[in-house]
Structures are given as C-alpha cells and as structure tokens.
C-alpha cells in the first residue's frame, strides 16, 4: 500500500508530545511491514536550521488562502528509512515554537492542509492509497478533499484515516474567520457538517468526513463516547461509532532501551537491572543534589505541567507524600502556576524533592532509568507513552485508571503476585497518595514481589509491531471496501 502520513509533529525532528512520538515510530514500522510510506509536515525553523544541508528542493507553488496568495515550498529528505516531505513558508513556520497563538495557529494549519493537498500526486510523484491524518491540525483535509478535489476527478481513490491523539484540542474558530481562510461550499457549513454549535470545528469535521477514525487506545475509544471524556463531541462520535476503533500506541524500543541508552551511566537488561538501576539512581541523586540513599524509593514524574496530567492531585498531597521516606523527582514545563508551586515545594524540602522545570530528553532518560516508580495521576490519558517507557526501564508506574493507562498497566495483586504497576480509580488526591504509599510499602517490605514486578514490566512488548499491523489491516479493509 501507498501511505501518506500527515502530521504537525515528528520525533525527534520537532515534537511537543505523544503525537510526535507516534509520527516518528509508526511509519517506520509500516515500512518494515513492506508498505511504501511517506510523511508530510511543516518545515519548522528548528528543522530547517539543523538539516538545511540535507534538504532537497522539489518545487514551489502559490496557495490561495482566502484573499491571500501564499508561497508554498516543497522540500524533502530521507530520515530513519522514511522519506519526509516538508511544507515551507517562513511567515507561518519560521518561528522558534511549533505552536504560537491559537488564532494564528488556525491560519497556519489551514495553510498547511491546503498545501498538503496541493502537493499530493504529481508534485510529490506519489498518489497515496491511504492519507493518514492526525489531530485538528489536519482535520479539514477530508472535507476539502470531498468538496474541492474528488468532484473534479482529483485524488478520487485516496481514502482517509483520522487519528485522535487528544480530543481536548479541536481547532475551533469563528465562521467568518474560517470562510476567510478556506474555500468551503455552503453545503458543508451545517451542524451535520463542519459546524459544532454554530462555529467551524476542525476536529468535528474530520470525524464526519474521514473514512475511518482511530484513537490511541481501546479504553479511550470507549471513554470518548461519554459526556465526561467526550469534550462536547461524544454525540458526533456516537453517530460515527461504526468507523471508530482504538489501536494502542507503542514506543520506539530502539530509542528507549536501557541496554544501549547512551545517556545512562550504566546500561542494564532484565538480567542485571538491580546493579544498573542502582548506579543510575546514585548518579541522578548526585546530579540533582539529593542525598545518596540507595534504599529510599525514588518516585518520578516527567510531564507537561497542565491540569490534564493530575497536577492538582499531586499538589494537594505533595506535603504529605514528602513526609514519607521517599525522594521525588519532577521534570516538565507548562502552566506558570504549576511551575511556581513545584519550585516552592522543592525549595522547601530540597533533601526530598528535585524539580527541573524544563524540557530535556537526555535528563528524562536518566530519570526513567534511575527512578523506582513513575507517577501518572492523569485526569484523562488517551494512551500515554511515559508508562510504557518507564516499564521498559524497570520503573514501576502508579497510574489512575483511565484511557491507555488501563490498557497497559496491570495492577499489582498481592495474592497471586501478578501485575506491572499500581492503579487507583477515582480523581481523588488521597486515593493517589495511599496508592503511592502502598507502592513504597511493597518496595520496602516485599522485595521479592517488587523484583518480579520489575522483571515482568521489563519483559513486556511495547514495540509498534502489533499496532502497526492493526493499522495495516485497517488500511487494507478500507481499500477493499471501496473497490
């Protein structure tokens, strides 16, 4: 099959979250299955400055964006065995950040979507069987295909798959603004089309017009049909449920491998994890200024500092948690309120807590390897990758039972010794606290059970192999249904 993967992020070139990790790993896995896969994404400043010598110019064109006529460059390079195409426009993508300001982002990614459709086919010398789209930044493409291309014999056989990575972010703006940017016929501007509560909604448009919808875990696919998790789109999703499926994310097991990770002071496998993690823990304690206490459990969080990640639960019980015999390490950046609260907590108890309010992939890997447990008290979590990475490094997750955390973390059972982590059900700070304290108790008092849990967690298959095959099966079914 010929597959074009359109995305606003791609790890390690340019990423801010899980979408980038998926885009960086899934296409490679599909190539290994024998399919012809190409990617297309914006040419951000961070990519252009680092890979300028490797980029090859393909062509340029002018894109009509409402009353504007904008330059669109098409460049390409090979990266990790996959050919990537880039949409170039300095005004839209020549910035230090991937995402800038919401209203401007609507314009930037409206341009990107038009440019993707303009580049498909002859300009790229590639007409895909499947156009795989991701999140609201690509959400209008199925509608634009249906309205402006297929009726005129262009891209007639292209089938669209749309993946929801996070339903909370939908690409919503006023009707006049969207009409100013995109050439959409009036028949699409209805509540049965792209409008939600009277205004255009890019995510909703994709749910209506894409041929298939996927999301990143089976549990999240069920959750988003409910009022609590549906972010106002659960009614639309229920109507389109026939084409919705949940396929669990994997991780790049080559990039996250304690056996070969160059960031670690000592590499280790499932056979010698005790010595390896002990060395990594000691090194991280030294790096972060924490006391050298090998027997004290170390808990960690690596996260965006936003309410979705359960930061309010953490802050509510943090003082009580730090009264325990525990060390706590946090890495992340985000909401200034959370940053300041965590900074103050770390300054108050520097012998128990270290907070690094930044984004650092090398430090994150060192934390995954050093910590004994990994905290994820998420209010909702479409899939989550951190719990998969932590288990691969032998770090036991403590999670709330939601989304992909349910699908990937088997709760510890003291009676039969099974499990790969600990979980709690409700959005309740003290339930989170008691579960974390229980994990510490198991760590200290039943080391044999902890060892079995670590071995079981490290032995899990977190690769993309099975999930990539499920996507390939979905693509094949879609192509077969339309021939």
For the chain, the average pLDDT equals 96
Q: Are 108 and 135 in contact (CB under 8 A)?
A: no
Q: What is the pLDDT of residue 144?
A: 97
Question: Is residue 255, in this structure, part of any structural domain at all?
Answer: no
- pLDDT confidence tier of residue 96, bands split at 50, 70 and 90: very high
Question: d(Cα 119, Cα 74) in Å, to the nearest integer?
Answer: 7
Confidence of residue 452 (pLDDT cuts 50, 70, 90): very high
Could you tell me if 223 and 351 lie in one domain? no
pLDDT tier, 112 (very low <50, low <70, confident <90, very high otherwise): very high
Cβ contact 401:425 at 8 Å: yes
- Residue 125 shares a structural domain with residue 23: yes
The pLDDT assigned to 214 comes to 98
Q: Is residue 393 part of a domain?
A: yes
Task: Give domain status of residue 172, yes or no.
Answer: yes
Mean pLDDT of 197-218: 97
If we measure between CA atoms, which residue out of 62, 4, 22, 56 comes closest to residue 383? 22
Considering the domain architecture, whether residues 229 and 133 belong to the same structural domain is answered as yes
Is 192 found in the same domain as 63?
yes
Residue 49 CA from chain centroid, whole number: 24
| pLDDT computed for residue 306 by the predictor | 94
Q: Show contacts of 352-355: CB within 8 Å, 24+ apart.
A: 352/290, 352/322, 352/326, 352/327, 352/328, 353/322, 353/327, 353/328, 353/329, 354/288, 354/289, 354/290, 354/327, 354/328, 354/329, 354/330, 355/329, 355/330, 355/331
Same-domain pairing of 283 and 245: no
Given pLDDT bands bounded at 50, 70 and 90, which one contains residue 65? very high
- Residue 411: in which H helix or E strand, if any? none
Q: What is the pLDDT of residue 195?
A: 96
CB 73 within 8 A of CB 89: yes
**Peptide bond preceding 12 in cis form (omega within 30 of 0):** yes
Q: Judge whether 320 and 467 are in contact, CB under 8 Å.
A: no
Q: pLDDT digits over 369-382, tens only?
A: 999 999 999 999 99
In a domain, 262, yes or no: no
What's the pLDDT score for residue 22? Answer: 93
Distances (CA, A) of 15 to 24, 66, 94, 141, 397: 9, 29, 15, 21, 24
Q: N- to C-terminal Cα distance for the chain?
A: 14
Residue 482 confidence (pLDDT) above 80? no
Shared domain check, 196 and 342: no
Query: Domain limits at 53?
Result: 2-250+465-481
- As a whole-number percent, the residues of the chain with pLDDT over 70 amount to 100
Q: Are residues 220 and 294 in the same domain?
A: no
Q: SS3 for 138?
A: helix
**Contact at 8 Å (CB) between 309 and 378?**
yes
* Rounded-to-integer distance, Cα 424 and Cα 434, Å: 9
For the chain, how many structural domains are there in total?
A: 2
434 pLDDT more than 80: yes
**11-39 pLDDT tens trace:** 999 988 889 989 999 999 999 999 999 99
Q: Do 114 and 169 have their domain in common?
A: yes
| Contact by Cβ (8 Å): 210, 142 | yes
pLDDT at 298: 98
Contact 213, 162 (CB under 8 A): yes
Considering the domain boundaries, does residue 259 fall inside one?
Answer: no
- Rounded-to-integer distance, Cα 368 and Cα 268, Å: 13
CB 221 within 8 A of CB 439: no
The reply to whether 268 falls in a domain is no
- Among 296, 328, 248, 308, CA closest to 440: 296
């Amino acid at each position: 099959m010929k597959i074009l993967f359109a995305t606003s992020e791609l790890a390690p070139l340019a990423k801010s979250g899980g979408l980038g990790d998926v885009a960086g790993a899934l296409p490679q896995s599909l190539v290994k299955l024998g399919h012809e896969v190409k990617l297309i994404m914006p040419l951000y400043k961070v990519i252009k400055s680092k890979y300028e010598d490797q980029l090859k110019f393909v062509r340029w064109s002018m894109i009509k964006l409402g009353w504007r006529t904008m330059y669109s460059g098409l460049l390409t390079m090979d990266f990790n065995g996959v050919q990537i195409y880039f949409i170039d426009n300095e005004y839209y993508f020549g910035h230090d950040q991937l995402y800038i300001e919401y209203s401007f982002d609507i314009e930037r990614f409206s341009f990107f979507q038009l440019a993707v459709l303009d580049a498909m086919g002859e300009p790229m010398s590639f007409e895909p069987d499947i156009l795989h789209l991701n999140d609201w930044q690509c959400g209008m493409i199925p509608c634009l295909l249906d309205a402006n291309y297929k009726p005129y014999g262009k891209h007639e056989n292209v089938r669209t798959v749309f993946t929801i990575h996070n339903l909370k972010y939908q690409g919503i703006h006023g009707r006049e603004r969207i009409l100013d940017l995109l050439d959409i016929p009036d028949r699409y501007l209805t509540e049965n089309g792209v409008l939600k509560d009277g205004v255009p909604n890019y995510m909703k448009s994709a749910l209506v017009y894409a041929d298939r919808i996927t999301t990143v875990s089976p549990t999240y696919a069920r959750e988003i049909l409910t009022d609590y998790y549906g972010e106002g789109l659960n009614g639309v999703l229920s109507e389109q449920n026939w084409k919705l499926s949940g396929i669990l994310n994997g991780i790049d097991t080559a990039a996250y491998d304690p056996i070969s990770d160059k960031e670690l002071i000592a590499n280790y496998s499932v056979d010698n994890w005790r010595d390896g993690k002990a060395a990594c823990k000691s090194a991280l304690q030294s790096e972060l200024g924490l006391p050298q206490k090998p027997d004290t459990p170390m808990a960690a969080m690596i996260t965006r500092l936003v309410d979705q990640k359960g930061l309010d639960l953490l802050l509510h019980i943090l003082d009580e948690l730090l009264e325990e015999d525990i060390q706590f390490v946090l890495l992340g950046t985000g909401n200034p309120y959370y940053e300041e609260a965590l900074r103050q907590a770390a300054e108050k108890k520097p012998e128990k807590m270290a907070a690094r309010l930044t984004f650092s992939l090398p430090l994150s890997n060192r934390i995954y390897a050093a910590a004994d447990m990994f905290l994820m008290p998420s209010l909702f979590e479409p899939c989550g990758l951190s719990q998969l990475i932590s288990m691969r490094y032998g770090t036991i997750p403590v999670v709330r039972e939601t989304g992909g955390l349910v699908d990937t973390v088997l709760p510890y059972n003291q009676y039969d010794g099974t499990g790969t982590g600990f979980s709690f059900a409700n959005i309740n700070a003290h339930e989170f606290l008691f579960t974390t304290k229980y994990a510490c108790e198991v760590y200290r008092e039943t080391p044999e059970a902890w060892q079995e849990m670590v071995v079981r967690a490290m032995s899990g298959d977190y690769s993309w192999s099975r999930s990539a095959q499920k996507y390939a099966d979905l693509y094949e079914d879609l192509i077969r249904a339309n021939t």
